[in-house]
Structure 1
Amino acid sequence: MSDDAVPPPSRPVRIGVQVQPQHADYPQIRRAVAAAEEAGVDLVMNWDHFFPLYGEPDGKHFECWTMLGAWAEATERVEIGALVSCNSYRNPDLLADMARTVDHVSDGRLLLGIGSGWFQRDYDEYGFEFGTAGGRIADLATAMPRIEARWAALNPAPLRDIPVMIGGGGEKKTLPLVARHADIWHSFGDPATVARKGEVLDGYCRDLGRDPREVERSAGVEGDPAASGDALLGAGVTLFTVGTGGPDFDLGPLREWLAWRDDLSR
């Protein structure tokens, strides 16, 4: 290990599930969330879109934050959040207040996942300016201090320092934001890509005087955990999230990842 290398993560391995709010009626979504919590998942998330991303493009779909408020009441143990909330769709101060409120409803279990946005149909049909990728990331950079300041001003305050997850792998603009504002970095790609971008993030953290180990590493996963779990763990990932969509919400792959997590602690 070089002098600049980050030691292996000491935090526990966690498993999340993204219950995609598409192609299903809400009772089906609610049952999937309950089943995931009963199975032992650590974190249940949805996504922040207005139309399905897969399958029939005009299929059934539900809104992100209204659903998170319902999940706050319907669950007892798991953390909840969006993977990820789109900064473009809400005033940052309003989003901070929404997050604070869901944090209280859930008794301190909310995680704020946030990103700059990318799905143009959402923007076009709901009347938001799509702009450019660079402009949307710049807007997120402006929003994060506003969210943090609003949390500090709200009465009552959030029940905890709400963890912030920022998703994306842009090395020049997104990763500096992660280093400055995030508790969790959600990444994409194979283990080698995640490891390389993680090293870039480490450098930004050091430039700010921040210990890179303060930023938990997260990745979306699928398939057999034996094929990629250990390699991603070696790349620093400790939060592994499985996606599942309606109407069936197959939790079989999730249970395989939960078993893999549990085997690590034996």
Structure 2
Amino acid sequence: MTSAGNRPVRIGLQLQPQHADYATIRRTASEAENLGVDIVFNWDHFYPLFGEPEGQHFECWTMLGAWAESTSRVEIGALVTCNSYRNPELLADMARTVDHISGGRLILGIGSGWFEKDYEEYGYEFGTAGGRLDDLGEALPRIESRWSKLNPAPTRKIPVLIGGGGEKKTLKFVAKHADIWHGFGDPEVVERKVAVLDQHCADLGRDPAEIERSVGVQSDDPAELGAKLLDLGVTTFTIGASGPDYDLDRLKTWIAWRDKING
């Protein structure tokens, strides 16, 4: 089991860009920043994931470019970018550009994709889960290679977050390419995933402590759940909020818990 070590606890908000007008989304991102959140994520879909399936929705990366200008402190990123929707070299350039606009605050969150409606409506080949994972495995080194060729270069080593819990492929990609792993589940599930990730790191000769552990949480009482996840090396906790109104009460509770833990 990997210890959290000296890594501080961080709190993220996944500001889901569904069922709301953009003015409300922008205002909520600013409110979250003012509350002291560490990261504001959106997601990379073209339709709502729940609620009215044809409800209001906005695109991910153009929004990140706008957030790069409308925020000043928080890190920003997608939780997560769908690898299928953009050529890897283009995505690398987009990430580099948002990195510069934001003054070095971008996290490149990426995953293999899963929401079939997005693919069908926008003309992408859905294929199979295994095929999409293979595509992600091919894209990651291409993204890294393109960053090394861009002029100007990124402002920093852009952190790569890989989302998913697949034990044979996804967690192996995390061990090889990621700075942050993002998963879901109760502590028992997370404990298994962390053990698998640690073994992949050992196989590759990488120190697993280099990889930040991030988990999506839904509890309104962080004390018990947070303590259990901290024991597993998780230090980043992300709360989701959906439109139209974006209730941030749960986020405030987790921020207060973070401040108590970090001292």
Identify the TM-score tier after normalising by the shorter chain.
over 0.9
Contact 2:201-2:208 at 8 Å conserved across structures: yes
1:23, distance to aligned residue in structure 2 (A): 0.2
What's the counterpart of residue 253 of structure 1?
A: 250
Among 238, 249, 252, which residue is 1:241 paired with?
238
Q: Aligned-pair distance for 1:7? A: 3.6
Q: 1:185 aligns to what SS in structure 2?
A: strand
Contact 1:195 1:236 in 2 (8 A): no
Q: Percent identity, aligned pairs only?
A: 69
| Residue from 8, 11, 15 that aligns with 1:15 | 11
Report if aligned partners of 1:68, 1:81 keep a CA contact under 8 Å in 2.
yes
Cα contact 2:2–2:233 (8 A) shared by 1: no
Q: Give TM-score scaled by structure 2 length.
A: 0.98
SS in 2 for 1:197: helix
Q: 1:27-49 CA deviation, whole Å, 9 max, x = no partner?
A: 00001000000000000000000
**CA pair 122-219 structure 1, distance change in 2 beyond 3 A:** same
Task: Provide the secondary structure at the position in 1 that maps to 2:117.
Answer: helix
Q: Please identify runs of 4+ aligned residues in structure 1 that moved more than 6 A.
A: none
- Residue 129, structure 1, aligned to residue 125, structure 2: yes
User: 1:168-188: per-residue Cα shift (whole Å, max 9, x none)?
Assistant: 011111110000000000011
Choose the corresponding residue for 1:32, options 11, 18, 28.
28
Aligned CA-pair RMSD: 0.8
Question: Of residues 204, 207, 214 in structure 1, which corresponds to 2:203?
Answer: 207
- Count of residue correspondences: 262
Corresponding residue to 2:228 among 221, 227, 231: 231
For 1:144-169, what per-residue CA distance to the aligned partner results, in whole angstroms no more than 9, with x for missing partners?
Answer: 01000000000000000000000001
Q: Aligned residue for 1:263?
A: 260
The alignment's TM-score, normalised by the length of structure 1, stands at 0.97
Does the residue aligned with 2:45 lie in a helix, a strand or coil?
coil
Give the unaligned 5+ runs of structure 2: none
- Alpha-carbon contact 1:192-1:235 (below 8 Å) kept: no
Q: Which residue of structure 2 aligns with residue 71 of structure 1?
A: 67
Q: 1:227 deviation in Å?
A: 3.8
Whole-angstrom CA distance in 1 between matches of 2:68 and 2:39: 12
CA distance in structure 2 between the partners assigned to 1:53 and 1:7 by the alignment: 34
For the 8 Å contact 1:25–1:60, the answer to whether it is kept is yes
- The answer as to whether partners of 1:82 and 1:114 remain within 8 angstroms in 2 is yes
Aligned to 1:170: 166
Matched residues in 2 for 1:201 and 1:111: separation? 20
- Cα distance, 1:265 vs. partner? 2.5
Structure 1, unmatched stretches of 5+, are: none
For the residue of structure 2 that corresponds to 1:158, the secondary structure is coil
Structure 2 Cα separation of the partners of residues 103 and 217 of structure 1: 22
List aligned pairs for 1:43-192, cutoff 5 A.
43-192=39-188
